[in-house]
Amino acid sequence: MADYDFDLFVIGAGSGGVRAGRMAASHGARVGMAEDRYLGGTCVNVGCVPKKLYSYAAHFHECFTESAGFGWQLGQAPTFSWSTLRDNKKAEIERLNGIYRRLLENANVTLFNGRARIVDAQHVEVAGKRYSAAKILLATGGWPWIPDIPGKEHFLDSNAIFDLERFPKRFLVLGGGYIAVEFASIFNGLGADSHLVYRGSLFLRGFDREVREFTHDEMLKKGVNLHFETTIERIEKQGEVYHVHLSNGEQLEVDAVMAATGRRPNLDNVGLENVSVEQEINGKIRIDDRYQTTTPSILALGDLIDGPELTPVALAEAMRLVDCHFGKGEAAPIDYETVATAVFCHPNIGTVGLSEEMARKRFERIRVYSTTFRPMKHTLSGSEERSMMKLIVDDASDRVVGAHMVGEDAGELIQGIAIAIRAQLTKADFDATIGIHPTSAEEFVTMREITRH
């Protein structure tokens, strides 16, 4: 590979691209990397990290109220400062950006500031200069998609929502995926009159039906306004407010309108037209089991390819890609079916493995164990919030093939359960595990009564 400027040139310095570049460099590869926006990609800058910080902030409202049952008396009503949250978030992201830069510098990765374009199978161009590379990795991630409706210029997307100048007292989000559900909860928790509008009959399509229904009921109890089987026909701005006209004839006046209607591969202006790279119908890049596109020197991973659009998945793909191309030459495939995930709505959702609906299609007979309960904390807090836990078992093998939770810290708790699902443990293994008392988590090892087959 000495005839090239770089052994690997990475376009995009998000989680997957940075991990691939660093790991390839650790194998002795000469790595170049180009980024035209911000180090760390979506997750660090306009995704997982700021979203979770805002979710934490939104929980405090309930905490202040619930503390009274435990003897705490607040001297005055708490007030919320949007600018403090926003600016502290900015400072934390700047700190993380610096960490990413130092990681790349310490790995001897050459970083270019600018949009890199593919010139041909072995060349890229950045800021008017051309570089050769044995392999080129596309790691540019996804970008929010905005529906084409009258007044669409008034939509905020998931990139812009974190940095609003003023806090919207009335907030509306269009969409039914995890981003829409999370932000409806976040702004509701921060004190806004929060609305979610979705064309389907129930949000979070693809998640377990019982989980979706339970989450729906809990969000309603917390005051989120849910508008299903409807969509936005047009948005009109009048002064500083927006009049949102819904397809059911309703009109809502709000201070901010967000579109959380999906993300698409961020492939504009990367030069795909100069090479043969096939794409799926949904715009994702078609790859083989070594992350090679139809031009073998060009690779792709993360949100650009089919699979869960999750940061840990992109990191795992980066590790496997490096093993395939700069390591031993082969690596075990990723088991996407046992990837755990969380939705940071209020209350949280944690899930791993198969939904009940998927399991019924896969196995001849299943057993379902589920429970809902009022957590111990809320016996004194006064909150009516309930939690739900659910295990799905293949009856023939007794293997637990799915685990789901809705409740406080579900994302934290489901990580440990994911290990058990990945290890193909049985319901008997769960039953033989002694629980930690008193915790909500012990419900996962104490459910004995079959809810349904």
Give the residue numbers annotated as catalytic, written as ranges.
437
Give the residue among 403, 445, 394 at the shortest CA–CA distance from 421.
403
Question: Tokens 């080129």 belong to which residue?
Answer: 136
Q: What is the dihedral of CA 118, 42, 197, 56, to 10 degrees?
A: 180
User: Is the separation of the CB atoms in 386 and 218 below 8 Å?
Assistant: yes
Task: Pinpoint the alpha helices (H) of 256-299.
Answer: none
Bond preceding residue 333 cis, omega within 30 of 0: no
Residues 6 or more apart in contact with residue 273 via CB below 8 angstroms: none
Give the residue among 230, 254, 50 at the shortest CA–CA distance from 172.
254
Strands 31-35 and 6-11: parallel
Adjacent-strand bridge partners of 238: 241
Task: Pinpoint the alpha helices (H) of 363-409.
Answer: 378-381
Grouping H, G, I as helix, E, B as strand and the rest as coil, residue 435 is: coil
**What value, to the nearest 5°, has the Cα angle with vertex 48 and ends 235 and 229?**
35
| Residues 210, 54: Cα–Cα separation, whole Å | 27
Q: Both ends of the chain: CA-CA distance in Å?
A: 58
Question: Tokens 């210029």 belong to which residue?
Answer: 153
**Ramachandran area for residue 442 (φ above 0: left; ψ -120 to 50: alpha; else beta):** alpha
**How many CB atoms neighbour CB 98 within 10 A?**
11
The pair of three-digit structure tokens given for residue 209, joined into one six-digit string: 């039906």
